[in-house]
């Protein structure tokens, strides 16, 4: 037989539940916040619509997170902070910027998961990025907050840039080009723009080790501006074209990769987000 105390607790719980239903405790004070400048709060607000008719006690966090990421795929984390009795703060955090881009005369970044963000954001020290795809002759358009590179490929490109910067800190990585059809990554190094060719689907460790070994024996090729390009796609080999044969070297690259090497220097006006050839 239930005790008087049990009856009392049950009655209290029922009364509290009834009070909640009667008062209709809904969220009425909603704040959409950003943890970094890569998030567009206005776009997030539009994608979420009116949140003031949801219950304070049953906020649909999964649905809100999904709607935010559909509009801004660069968003990595969505956090929720309730303030009793009717406050809700939704804070959005982006994947970090990995590359700088210029698209249609607008400056922006590409995040580490491959999303183009054309809005004011810190770009200093970031290498530029080109994504080069086959085309039927029309130029591809890149739109703000749209993925221009698969997350895995974006991580490979960012990983290569970071590994080169770590191993050759005196030679700036000025630009990385991802050739989608060829599955290649080309990194441009130093003020002389030495181009390093890598297999995008291979481990970068061995060719970088070979490159370091070469530098230890013959001197830093970037400091000396010794190469126009060096092909590291073949295991344990470095095939290079010397800088004093720039014309022939460039002709070779143009013959293989087309207009991608009708040269546009890093920092010049070019469609870096959705380059095609």
What tens digit of pLDDT does each residue of 188-238 get? 997 667 999 999 999 999 999 999 998 888 888 887 788 999 999 998 899
- Please tell me if the domain spanning 23-94 has the same topology as the one spanning 97-276: no
Query: What are the φ/ψ torsions at residue 143 (nearest 5 degrees)?
Result: -110, 150
56 vs 87: CA distance, rounded Å: 8
Q: 185 has which bridge partners?
A: 178, 198
Residue 167 near residue 149 (C-beta atoms within 8 A): no
In SS3 terms, 216-227 reads as HHHCCCCCCCCE
Task: Judge contact between 129 and 99, C-beta under 8 A.
Answer: yes
Distance CA 248, CA 209 (A): 28
Longest dimension (CA), the chain: 98
Q: Where are the domains of the chain?
A: 23-94, 97-276
Question: End-to-end alpha-carbon separation of the chain, Å?
Answer: 82
More confident residue, 256 or 23: 256
CA distance 92 to 71: 12
pLDDT average, residue stretch 171-191: 92
- How much is the pLDDT for 191? 66
- How would residue 143 be classed by pLDDT, with cut points 50, 70 and 90? confident
Q: Could you give the angle at which helices 151-167 and 205-218 cross, rounded to 10 degrees?
A: 20
* pTM of the full structure: 0.79
Question: How far is the C-alpha of 224 from the C-alpha of 255, rounded, in Å?
Answer: 26
pLDDT at 1: 53
pLDDT at 134: 80
The CATH code of the domain at 97-276 is 3.40.50.11690
Q: 34 falls in which pLDDT band (50, 70, 90)?
A: very high
Backbone φ and ψ for 87, nearest 5 degrees, come out as -100, 145
Please choose, from the candidates 196, 153, 155, the residue with its C-alpha nearest in 3D space to the C-alpha of residue 173. Answer: 196
Predicted confidence at residue 26, as pLDDT, reads 75
Q: What kind of fold does domain 23-94 have according to CATH?
A: Ubiquitin-like (UB roll) (3.10.20)
Number of C-beta neighbours around residue 250 at 10 A: 17
* Helix extents (H) in the chain: 4-23, 41-48, 61-71, 151-167, 205-218, 246-257
């Amino acid at each position: 037989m239930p005790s008087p105390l049990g009856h009392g607790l049950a009655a209290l719980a029922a009364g509290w539940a009834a009070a909640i239903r009667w008062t209709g405790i809904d969220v009425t004070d909603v704040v959409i916040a950003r943890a970094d400048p890569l998030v567009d709060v206005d776009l997030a607000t539009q994608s979420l619509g009116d949140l003031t008719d949801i219950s304070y006690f049953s906020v649909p966090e999964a649905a809100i997170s999904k709607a935010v990421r559909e509009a801004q795929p660069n968003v990595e984390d969505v956090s929720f902070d309730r303030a009793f009795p009717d406050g809700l703060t939704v804070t959005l955090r982006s994947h970090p910027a990995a590359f700088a881009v210029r698209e249609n005369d607008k400056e922006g970044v590409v995040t580490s998961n491959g999303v183009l963000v054309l809005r004011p954001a810190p770009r200093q020290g970031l290498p530029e990025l080109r994504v080069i795809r086959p085309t039927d002759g029309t130029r591809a358009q890149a739109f703000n907050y749209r993925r221009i590179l698969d997350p895995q490929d974006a991580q490979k490109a960012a990983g290569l840039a970071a590994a080169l910067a770590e191993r050759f800190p005196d030679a700036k990585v000025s630009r990385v080009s991802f050739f989608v059809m060829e599955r290649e990554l080309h990194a441009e190094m130093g003020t002389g723009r030495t181009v390093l060719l890598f297999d995008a689907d291979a481990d970068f460790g061995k060719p970088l080790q070979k490159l370091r070994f070469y530098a230890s024996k013959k001197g830093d090729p970037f400091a000396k501006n010794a190469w126009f390009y060096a092909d590291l796609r073949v295991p344990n080999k470095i095939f290079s074209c010397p800088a004093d044969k720039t014309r022939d070297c460039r002709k070779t690259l143009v013959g293989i990769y087309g207009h991608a090497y009708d040269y546009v220097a890093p920092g010049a006006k070019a469609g870096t987000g959705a380059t095609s050839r």
